[in-house]
Amino acid sequence: MINLSINNQRVSVQPGTTVLEAAKKLNINIPTLCNHPDLCVAGNCRVCVVEQTGARTLIAACAMPVAEGMDIQTNTLKVRNARKHIVELLLSEHRSDCTKCYKNQKCELQALANEFAFGDTIFLDLVADRPYTIDRSSPSFMKDDSKCIRCQRCVRTCTELQHISAIAVANKGMHQKISSFHDRPMSHVVCTNCGQCVNRCPTGALVEKTYIDQVWDAIYDPDKHVVVQTAPAVRVALGEDLGYDPGERVTGKMVTALRQLGFDSVLDTDFSADLTIMEEGTELLTRLKKVLVDGDKKTRVPMFTSCSPGWIKFIEHKYPELLPNLSTCKSPQQMFGALAKTFFASKKKIDPAKVVSVSVMPCTAKKYEADRPEMRSSGYKDIDYVLTTRELAVMIKQAGIDFRNLEPSHYDSIMGESTGAAVIFGATGGVMEAALRTAYEIVTGREIPFKNLNITPVRGMEGVKEASLKIEGCVDDWKFLEGAELKVAIAHGLVNANKLMRLVSKGKAPYHFIEIMACPGGCIGGGGQPIPTSMEIRKNRMKAIYSEDEHMVLRKSHENPDVIAIYKEFLGKPNSHAAHELLHTHYTERESY
Amino acid sequence: MENKGLNKVDLIFEKIDPKEVLTKAYKISPDAIIQQILDSGLKGRGGAGFPTGLKWKYTAAVKEPDKYVVCNADEGEPGTFKDREILDRVAYKVYGGMVIAGKAIGAKKGIVYLRGEYRFLLPQLMKELDSFHKMIKQIGYDFNISYCMGSGAYICGEESALFESIEGGRGEPRNKPPYPTTSGVFNKPTSINNVETLVTAMMILTHGPESYSQLGTKDSRGSKVFSISGDTPTPGIFELELGMSVQEFVNEFGDGDTKAVQVGGASGFCVPRKKFGNTIIGFEGVPTGGSMKLFNSSRSMYNVLHNYLDFFAEESCGQCTPCRVGCQQLLKGVEKVKKGEVKSTYLNELMKLADTMKVASKCGLGQSVGNAFRTIVENFREEIIY
């Protein structure tokens, strides 16, 4: 243990602890900006400078490891003066149109300004005479260089967590900026639109592209029937933007709020998640049959899940040769969209042209996905607008809804029923677990042999997870699988996805089925989720997801009555021609730079 | 105040037989080599002045089979051109210094990081390196030197930015600790030394530490190569004993009308005429990596300052706030003062900013911008305002 003193209080910590962490232990708050719990230490904003007795300069608390006998002061005049200067310097290169900014009151720089730099600044405005661009090219997010304070959180996120480096630091000195390959617009570089950078940007430099106004317009258009669907991970995170602690489930209140906002039908992406399991599970079993029994050389295993649009864009760019391994199933959002303007519209006797389909997603890549040209199998744009969890929170606030005191209510029928298998889609390993619950039962006619159906080996925050399952006692149709050992792998965060893909492309991945989620922790850690994020917050959301599952009466996708009904009335059976028309898609090879 | 006066020395460019010196060094222990360097009192010749013997001692103490000697030849300080001359004339001594450092710390690999603009020297340097490698192999050394070219960024002269650059990253300084002695290039223990430091180390082993430490003063042992430019009838490279006053220096190199000397380049200190007599060139007074720029009364110190600030605003890596934004504020600030768009007292605010940059910047670049700013503004305030 290392002993040191901070503000004359003694503390003992493990070697390797930073001064910042040691101070936290004493409940001494040192302001930070470039620091983020998910990322490596940068030490570049210098907001966290503190005084160390005997040191020539101030030290950055976030980057300085503790040393025996260290004497730290966090609040001396020297420190305060430096901090004030630093915050004012940041403000001088930041276009402070705070009252109009999407991040107003959610901006970390603004909070620091409030603390250290109120009143007149002595510094000159450096933004005023500098040209800047706002890159609106991506359908998912906007990049406004005039609000960027070069903390490089986004760059570190893109490199460390996602292994993409769509954005990087360019130039030096006064010309330094966060740029893309050849300074191209974000829509024309290898960007997965995952929004992890957006989720970690402390200012309004990176924000999702909002469609709030368009959605309000649709709601108030008496001619339109506005259908809304909510993704599994939204219900365990929305509360954070409305004053709840991370991990609070607000499903019922959210449904009520959506009705109060004026959506005509409040439905659940969980329904189409169950549907995805039927389609994807069947596809997997069919692929296995083709490979193992028919000896089909064109069919590829392992099969990859296809729910995460950030992951889809990643593989299209980085491993186009592996696209045949990707399940052809659309994501639950897009399955829902295709059905909303076909099956749902006809059931409700509404002209599909008048249906406006809105989804609330933990994700910014979903905005891009909805814009894909192939996502028009209903004859219309299947999903008109995608809102993030954050945007929904904004709408609830705009409408003046007293969220905390809302009576919980249930989703509408037809496409509102769901099972626990669907809700766990929101966490890494969830799709795998849901698929196994159903596939095992199809193959053996028995429930999967895990206590309470909880397939714990596929759960948790480990970057790459593996599991295997012995299949015994198969029913007649699936006798060829008798005694087989089904091997699966799961990765979340594209840096981990990349590890698995490397193995697959070298032929060294002994798996049958691989689940990939682009974001750390899966959708619960999505780029469209409330800010801030951290491992602890994501774990709380994950816990809530599994608790939501445990509280459901139905836990297996194939038991969802709405799913059973739609096959009976509309789709026939899984992977049928009708299902292929509406629920499956194809992919595009993209360049790797 | 110890004052040795102005004495010309010929050590760095002195012709020696490297084989003889390196054979001698081959036979003594690493500890003995380090002790000789410690005894000589040699401090790093790049400008920061860290005792070379200590640097080697710390690096030697780390138990790790893979270590590096890096020669910092990214000579970028405005007004210094001594390393170019050294490499041009006595590259074998630079290599020799690296071999000795390698033996001292237990490294088998050396990298010379050469300033991008010096690429024209490379063919000749490589040729000499070939025969040098053959020579040390004959003696028995297992040491290999390679070259890495810089790309023109001033910041890459900062040791950890230099490592990043060698590794293929952006030239951005790292957080310290860890220091290079434990985690340098490729995160291996590294002794990074200036070109001149390495040559000096070689000369200390040639002539012995006693004779070297007789040169100079208590705080600044030995001699040093100066790059002299500006308003002088004799610009060029001169090796001088440390411990002379600026006045003595100006008497020798000035044009009779010197009003200020910028000691240590853009990151150094401006000494005005009234302080020439009682300012010693060395670590007890104004330290320098070798750059000496003389200004006569025809020069506008506003232009000098503006030029330096413009330089820093461009050459800051841009990573940390105080340096990236601070340099721009200082630059625009003095422009506004000059134009009369803000009150002259605004200079006091800028002075405080320079102080913040000194204590809060991540690396030596941002920390030293205030040196020139403060000394020019303090001594030539009226030239900045009017």
**Range scoring the smallest mean pLDDT among A285-299, A528-542, B248-262:** A285-299
> Is residue B313 one of the residues assigned to a domain?
yes
Task: Return the CATH number at B41.
Answer: 3.40.50.11540
> Is residue B244 one of the residues assigned to a domain?
no
Report residue B8 as tokens: 């010309």
Closest CB from A45, A64, A173 relative to B316: A173
In the A/B pair of chains, how many CB contacts fall below 8 A? 112
Q: Do B321 and A173 touch (CB under 8 A)?
A: no
State yes or no: pLDDT of A133 exceeds 90. no
**Confidence at residue B4, expressed as pLDDT on a 0 to 100 scale:** 86
How far B310 CA sits from the closest chain A CA (Å)? 10
Give the residue from B263, B264, B266 showing the smallest Cα distance to B307.
B266
A216: number of CA atoms within 13 Å, CB side? Answer: 11
Q: Compute the distance between CA of residue A319 and CA of residue A505 in angstroms, rounded to an integer.
A: 8
> Is residue B308 one of the residues assigned to a domain?
yes
Q: Which residues of A touch B336 (CB under 8 A)?
A: 124
Q: Do B175 and A49 touch (CB under 8 A)?
A: no
Q: Which residues of B touch A171 (CB under 8 A)?
A: 318
> Is residue B157 one of the residues assigned to a domain?
yes
Pick the last residue of a domain from B150, B183, B213.
Answer: B213
Q: Compute the distance between CA of residue A543 and CA of residue A561 in angstroms, rounded to an integer.
A: 26
Report residue B114 as tokens: 């050469």
> Is residue B48 one of the residues assigned to a domain?
yes
Give residue B322's domain range: 301-385
| B333 touches A at CB < 8 Å | yes
Same domain for B93 and B207, yes or no, is yes
How far A172 CA sits from the closest chain B CA (Å)? 5
Chain A residues contacting B via beta carbons under 8 Å: 41, 43-47, 49, 57-58, 60, 63-65, 78, 81-82, 85-86, 89-90, 92-93, 122-124, 126, 149-150, 152, 169, 171-176
Q: Are A274 and A460 within 8 A, CB to CB? A: no
**Ranges of chain B with pLDDT below 70:** 1
Minimal-distance CA residue of chain B relative to A93: B325
Q: Do B356 and A65 touch (CB under 8 A)?
A: no
| B349 touches A at CB < 8 Å | yes
Q: Are A268 and A230 within 8 A, CB to CB? A: yes
Same domain for B102 and B202, yes or no, is yes
**Confidence at residue A132, expressed as pLDDT on a 0 to 100 scale:** 86
**Confidence at residue B261, expressed as pLDDT on a 0 to 100 scale:** 98
Closest CB from A81, A152, A174 relative to B356: A81
Residues B166-217: tens digit of each pLDDT: 999 999 999 999 999 999 999 999 999 999 999 999 999 999 999 999 999 9
Q: Which residues of B touch A86 (CB under 8 A)?
A: 321-322, 356, 360
Pick the last residue of a domain from B195, B213, B231.
Answer: B213
Same domain for B68 and B199, yes or no, is yes
| B316 touches A at CB < 8 Å | yes
Length of chain A in terms of residues written: 593
Closest CB from A45, A169, A172 relative to B153: A172
Residues A411-428: tens digit of each pLDDT: 998 899 999 999 999 999
Give the residue from A215, A256, A265, A218 showing the smallest Cα distance to A238.
A256
**Confidence at residue B8, expressed as pLDDT on a 0 to 100 scale:** 96
Q: Do A44 and B321 touch (CB under 8 A)?
A: yes
Give the residue from A305, A283, A312 showing the smallest Cα distance to A372.
A312
Q: Do B326 and A89 touch (CB under 8 A)?
A: yes
Q: Do B325 and A126 touch (CB under 8 A)?
A: yes
Q: Are A366 and A349 within 8 A, CB to CB? A: no
Q: Do B325 and A45 touch (CB under 8 A)?
A: no
Pick the last residue of a domain from B174, B190, B213.
Answer: B213
Q: Which residues of A touch B356 (CB under 8 A)?
A: 81-82, 85-86
In three-state secondary structure terms, A277 is helix
How far B323 CA sits from the closest chain A CA (Å)? 8
> Is residue B259 one of the residues assigned to a domain?
no
Same domain for B206 and B338, yes or no, is no
Task: Return the CATH number at B329.
Answer: 1.20.1440.230
Residues A255-274: tens digit of each pLDDT: 999 999 999 999 999 999 99
State yes or no: pLDDT of A120 exceeds 90. no
Length of chain B in terms of residues written: 386
- Residue A352 preceded by cis peptide, ω within 30: no
Q: Which residues of B touch A170 (CB under 8 A)?
A: none
> Is residue B153 one of the residues assigned to a domain?
yes
Q: Are A261 and A396 within 8 A, CB to CB? A: yes
Same domain for B182 and B68, yes or no, is yes
Q: Which residues does residue B230 pair with via DSSP β-bridges, in sequence order?
A: B294
| Catalytic residue positions of A, numbered | 280, 283, 307, 327, 366, 369, 374, 523
Give the residue from B243, B351, B375, B237 showing the smallest Cα distance to B301.
B375
How far B97 CA sits from the closest chain A CA (Å)? 31
State yes or no: pLDDT of A386 exceeds 90. yes
Mean pLDDT within A187-208: 98
Q: Do A46 and B349 touch (CB under 8 A)?
A: no
| B182 touches A at CB < 8 Å | no
Q: Compute the distance between CA of residue A300 and CA of residue A296 in angstroms, rounded to an integer.
A: 9
Q: Which residues of A touch B328 (CB under 8 A)?
A: 93, 126, 174
**Confidence at residue A24, expressed as pLDDT on a 0 to 100 scale:** 97
How far B260 CA sits from the closest chain A CA (Å)? 28
Q: Do B177 and A65 touch (CB under 8 A)?
A: yes
Q: Do B316 and A65 touch (CB under 8 A)?
A: no
Q: Which residues of B touch A127 (CB under 8 A)?
A: none
Query: In what helix (H) or strand (E) does residue B24 lie, and over which residues does it extend?
Result: helix B18-27
Q: Which residues of B touch A41 (CB under 8 A)?
A: 175
Minimal-distance CA residue of chain A relative to B325: A89
| B328 touches A at CB < 8 Å | yes
In three-state secondary structure terms, A200 is helix
Q: Do A174 and B322 touch (CB under 8 A)?
A: no
Task: Please report the domains of chain A, with CATH numbers, ordered by start residue.
Answer: 2-75 (3.10.20.740), 122-207 (3.30.70.20), 212-271+333-405 (3.40.50.1780), 278-329+419-534+541-583 (3.40.950.10)
Cα separations in angstroms, B366 against A13, A110, A500: 32, 25, 43
**Range scoring the smallest mean pLDDT among A86-95, A290-299, B129-138, B146-155:** A290-299
Residues A52-62: tens digit of each pLDDT: 999 999 999 99
Residue type for position A42? A
Same domain for B333 and B208, yes or no, is no
Same domain for B188 and B324, yes or no, is no
Give the residue from B303, B356, B302 showing the smallest Cα distance to B329.
B356
Residue type for position A418? S
| B268 touches A at CB < 8 Å | no
Report residue B77 as tokens: 């300080």
Into how many domains does chain B fold? Answer: 2
Q: Are B260 and B195 within 8 A, CB to CB? A: no
Residues A559-588: tens digit of each pLDDT: 999 999 999 999 999 999 999 999 999 999
Q: Do B359 and A78 touch (CB under 8 A)?
A: yes
Q: Are A382 and A370 within 8 A, CB to CB? A: yes
How far A294 CA sits from the closest chain B CA (Å)? 50
**Confidence at residue B1, expressed as pLDDT on a 0 to 100 scale:** 62
Residues A340-357: tens digit of each pLDDT: 999 999 999 999 999 999
> Is residue B254 one of the residues assigned to a domain?
no
Q: Do A90 and B325 touch (CB under 8 A)?
A: yes
Which residues make Cβ contacts (< 8 Å) with residue B281, sequence separation at least 6?
A: B242, B243, B244, B245, B246, B249, B263, B288
